[in-house]
Amino acid sequence: MTTTLPLRSPCPPGACICGRDPLLDTPGADLRILRLTRAEEKILLARLEKLKDLDDLKRLQQRMYEQLGIRVDVAPGFNEVRTMRGIAIQIDDLPGLCRKTRAAIPAAIRKGLENHPQIAFELLNAHDLLRDT
């Protein structure tokens, strides 16, 4: 008896450029990202908003890559970091990743950083930006 995992429902035609259908048609393609249903996405975003510390953020980044194939890079931006907007959050291109999800993940991480500013300071310190303070 084989059970199939629930896959994300398709976006309305013309509303998204995620490439869900071509991904499903490609034999041997990595379909992990399609396991992120809308309900699972809400749970993930809520978890990202409730970060505890920098290690928690790194652990979540690793789990997102292992379970969904999403690579998220969080680092201080190129210019000065005066607000949470100065922290660069990049998501690598991934076929099947909805554009709304691609925008919601960085927003949730920023909200988690705003809720716990010490995580942002840890991140800056990890990149040696607070060495002289």
Residue pLDDT, tens place only, 91-131: 998 888 988 999 999 999 999 999 998 998 888 888 775 55
- Entry pTM: 0.85
Residue 9 is assigned to a structural domain of this protein: no
Percent of the chain at pLDDT exceeding 90 = 44
Residue with tokens 């995620």: 18
Residue 60 is assigned to a structural domain of this protein: yes
List the domain range (segments joined by +) for residue 88: 24-126
Residue 3 is assigned to a structural domain of this protein: no
Residue 90 is assigned to a structural domain of this protein: yes
Residue 50 is assigned to a structural domain of this protein: yes
Q: In b/e form, how buried is each residue of 40-72, taking b as 16+ CB within 10 angstroms? A: ebeebbeebbebeebebbeebbeebeeebbbeb
CA distance 85 to 26: 37
Report pLDDT for 13.
Answer: 78
Residue 12 is assigned to a structural domain of this protein: no
CA dihedral sign, ordered 122, 60, 84, 92: positive
Residue 7 is assigned to a structural domain of this protein: no
Q: Helices then strands (H, E): number in the chain?
A: 5, 2
**Domain tally for the chain?**
1
Lowest mean pLDDT segment, chosen from 10-14, 35-39, 59-63: 10-14
Residue 14 is assigned to a structural domain of this protein: no
